[in-house]
Amino acid sequence: MKKVTAGILVVGLCACAAIAAPVKVKADSLLKTNDVETVMGKLKGAPKPDTGLMGESICKYENADGQWVNVSVYSSDKWGWKKGETSEMHPTPLAGLGEEAFWVKRGSDVEVYVRKGANLLEVDSSGGIKFAKPIAEKALANLK
């Protein structure tokens, strides 16, 4: 039984790895600190790069007031999944961003999603759309 369970686990992990296409763009390369501070005010510390559970590249920013913005880059093959996940949150389209864009409110936070070429940009913010949209615009300018 243990061998069968271990085999299923290995196959499952391999299948998940195959589904999560590698991200070629690093989120921390999309924004300069002064670009973020123009929108959020003085940052509390250095940006914090990370990798998410689905292989996405993440960069976290926090200002001196404790408000935060997280910038994530996924492979665009996650676009349909993200749209489905947020469909009941009344997504609001955002014109002029990438090939397709929308934002949703999740609790007191805002999430902006933008599809551009092979990439999906997600910008989450505790500072609302007034932080998330301009940060997304600045990040998109550097997203190839």
pLDDT tens for 54-63 read 889 999 999 9
- Is 63 part of a structural domain of the chain? yes
pLDDT confidence band for 103 (50 / 70 / 90): very high
pLDDT digits (tens, 9 = 90+) for 19-52: 445 558 899 999 999 999 999 999 999 999 999 9
Judge whether 101 lies within some domain: yes
Distance between CA atoms of residues 58 and 8, nearest Å? 30
Checking if the pLDDT of 12 tops 60, the result is no
CA atoms within 13 A on the CB side of 44: 11
- Number of structural domains found in the chain: 1
CA distance 141 to 28: 14
Q: pTM of the predicted model, to two decimals?
A: 0.82
CATH code assigned at 80: 3.40.1000.70
Q: Which pLDDT does position 13 carry in this prediction?
A: 39
In a domain, 126, yes or no: yes
| Structure tokens belonging to residue 22 | 């590698």
- Domain with 59, as residue range(s), is 21-141
Alpha-carbon Rg for the chain in angstroms: 17
Report yes or no on 6 lying in a domain.
Answer: no
Asked whether residue 49 is assigned to any structural domain, the reply reads yes
Residue 1 falls inside a structural domain:
no
- Does residue 4 belong to any structural domain of this protein? no
| Alpha helices for 20-110 (secondary structure H) | 33-40, 79-86
In a domain, 33, yes or no: yes
Retrieve residue 132's tokens. 């998330």
